[in-house]
Amino acid sequence: MKAEERREQILDVTHEIVDAEGFHAATPARIAEAAGVTRPVLYQQFGDLGGLFVALIDREAERAAKQFTEAIAEPDEEADSDPFLHAFDGALRAIDTHPATWRLFLVPPEGAPPELHQRVAVSQDGVRLYLTQQLLRLFPELPDPDYTARIIFATGRELLYLRLTDPEATNERLRSVVRHLRTLTVQD
């Protein structure tokens, strides 16, 4: 196996352990055994366990950012033209396609290192900025777009969290809530 393939395999194994049991369960011995490598291979690839965790977090943050960018891309003619509903639908698709990636950020596992929380904060700032820009574009006279974006963000985050944690939170149910809130909160 090439070095990059081995690195991805180790990251995949680490992510599976972290997703199932938390960061505290992802010990070097367990990761090496599950990946079929020796501990020195882990250290050769990542330096130490902290380096492995940061590499995992960065890889998944990059994946989530790409998925979010795809979610907010311009809708096709058949998609919902409302940017907020379109983005929410895209986020639901991303969560359903890659739940482990999104669980890492929306439901941080036990023992998460500070780097995870730092990446979450940066990502949240980016999403709130996007929401603020959309609000300003659609409603230039909105009195406080920053706080409005924070409210929309908090609501959307909670609904996405429910999608990951509550079996009764179906996509249809969550979309219905977002559409209803959209009609209540914004006068076109």
Average pLDDT, the chain: 91
Q: What's the confidence (pLDDT) of residue 84?
A: 82
| pLDDT at residue 77 greater than cutoff 60 | no
C-alpha–C-alpha distance, residues 139 and 145, integer Å: 9
Task: Give the residue with greater pLDDT, 79 vs 154.
Answer: 154
**Chain segment 119-148, per-residue pLDDT in tens:** 999 999 999 999 999 999 989 999 999 999
Q: What's the confidence (pLDDT) of residue 182?
A: 82
Nearest one of 25, 20, 27, 34 to 52, comparing CA atoms: 27
Q: Which CATH superfamily is domain 3-185 in?
A: Tetracycline Repressor, domain 2 (1.10.357.10)
**Chain segment 159-175, per-residue pLDDT in tens:** 999 999 999 999 999 99
CA 179 to chain centre: 22
- Predicted TM-score (pTM) of this structure: 0.87
Nearest one of 47, 56, 49 to 19, comparing CA atoms: 56
Q: Where are the domains of the chain?
A: 3-185
Q: How many CB atoms lie within 10 A of CB 119?
A: 20
